[in-house]
Copies of this chain bind each other. A is one copy, B any other.
Amino acid sequence: MFNFIYHNPVRIVFGQHSIARLSDLIDRNKRIMLLYGGGSIHANGVYEQVKNALKAHNVVEFSGIEPNPHYETLMRAVAQAKEAQIDFLLAVGGGSVLDGSKFVAAAVCFTGDDPWDILAKKAKVEKALPLGAVLTLPATGSEMNGNAVITRESSREKLAFGSEQVSPQFSILDPAVTLSLPREQLANGIVDSFVHVIEQYLTYPVNAPLQDRQAEAVLLTLIEQAPAVLNQPDNLDARANLMWCATQALNGLIGCGVPQDWSTHDIGHELTAFYGIAHAPSLALVLPAVLRHQRSAKAEKLVQYGERIWQIHMANRDQAADAAIERTQNFFRSLGMPVSRHSTGITDLHFAAIADRFGRRGVRLGEHQSIGKDEVLQILQLID
């Protein structure tokens, strides 16, 4: 395996009724900004639980953080946090609220000219407001890492940044809050988590058998739990298992010392930016195309993946790899993901513009940096 540094100081508080612990997790003397999205936390009782726990605290609110959180919205939160001299951010929501709050935490303390540089120029985040989270949607893994993805509406750009400074001090994971989620969001969470694992696992072997098996552990559990998550609305155990899988998929552990390939996410982000397609469906469409395009580079791991995850045992390695990709695609479809780009309104209208964007950024994707502008275009055309 490669050399690595692993450091994940997020305190996970997991289980039913754990939102009440907020009262002890945040110092009484902090001026807290509670950040959330729309009305769902009012409807599902999470808002009330949070407010009850923080009765003795000083709390101001900022609501309206949208899915694929907008830079423009977040900069309003930054202004409000500065004005109110906020010194603790509490993000209550799914990955968008958490990611947005991480950006706010960094931007409030940013001393450079333009906070957009944190995203566009990877300006170093030297300092950030302390942050805590109450997770309502298992999917992005944002609750246990220092990463965030932010969208700039005005330029249709969706960009990521990462810093230890914006790792939550704590994240509360109460699986009961997921009981009210619509089926579609649960399915999206399963797909997002699954693809997070794949991007750290389906590359080339570097003799890191523990990391491989830890990745496979998450994949197998997601596949196993998916039917109960989607079809048994009261199955709290299944929701708890999904929630822990989603966290473990992207807290850095399975990525220790192994090559990674985030091209499905990177290309998927552009489908979201250009066509408005949601994150998980974009991944479900792009991943099979990436795997088909990279089949020979990923052959060894694709065969291992097929054997260990899908029990595919074929002498012909190309056929085994193809079968593994097909099983993956069928799994996504069984969760209600789109079966084709046509069904989601994706035409080739913007393909050249998307490929150009990667060309202009000068970023080459894939574990071997072998995916440039031309290859992105080929991958887009391979989407079913």
The reply on A277 being an interface residue by CB < 8 A is no
Assess whether A145 is interfacial by the CB under 8 Å rule.
Answer: no
The number of times this chain is found in the oligomer is 2
Q: Which of B5, B10, B220, B240 contacts A14 (CB 8 A)?
A: B5
**A3 interface residue (CB < 8 Å to B):** yes
Whole-angstrom distance between the Cβ of A177 and the nearest chain B Cβ = 14
Question: What are the residues of chain B within 8 A of A185 when measuring CB–CB?
Answer: none
**A144 CB to nearest chain B CB (Å):** 9
The answer to whether B240 and A1 touch across the interface, beta carbons within 8 angstroms, is yes
* B11–A207 CB distance below 8 A: no
Known: A6-B11, A11-B7, A240-B1. A210 touches B218 (CB 8 A): yes
**Which of B2, B10, B16, B217 lies in contact with A214, CB distance below 8 A?**
B217
Mask of A45-63 contacts with B, CB within 8 angstroms, 1/0: 0000000000000000000
Scan A242-261; emit 1 where CB is below 8 A from any B CB, else 0: 00110010000100110000
User: Hey, which chain B residues are within 8 Å of A10, CB to CB?
Assistant: 7
A14 x B4 contact (CB < 8 A): yes
Question: Beta-carbon contacts of A1-43 to B below 8 Å, as 1s and 0s?
Answer: 1111111111111111110000000000000000000000000
Evaluate contact between B12 and A9: CB separation under 8 angstroms. no
A257 adjacent to B14 (CB under 8 Å): yes
| Contact residues in B for A220 (Cβ distance below 8 Å) | 209, 213
Quick check: B9 and A3 within 8 Å, CB to CB?
no
Q: Does A221 lie within 8 Å of B225, measured CB to CB? A: no
A224 interface residue, CB < 8 Å from B? yes
Residue of B16, B209, B253 touching A241 (CB-CB under 8 A): B209
Not counting A5-B14, A213-B217, a sample of 18 additional A-B residue pairs whose C-beta atoms are within 8 angstroms of each other reads A2-B15, A3-B14, A3-B16, A3-B18, A4-B12, A5-B13, A6-B11, A6-B12, A6-B14, A8-B9, A207-B241, A208-B241, A209-B221, A210-B218, A210-B245, A216-B217, A217-B217, A253-B253
Q: Would you give 14 A-B contacts (Cβ < 8 Å), ordered by A? A: A1-B244, A3-B16, A5-B13, A6-B11, A7-B10, A209-B220, A209-B225, A209-B241, A210-B221, A210-B248, A213-B213, A214-B217, A244-B256, A244-B257
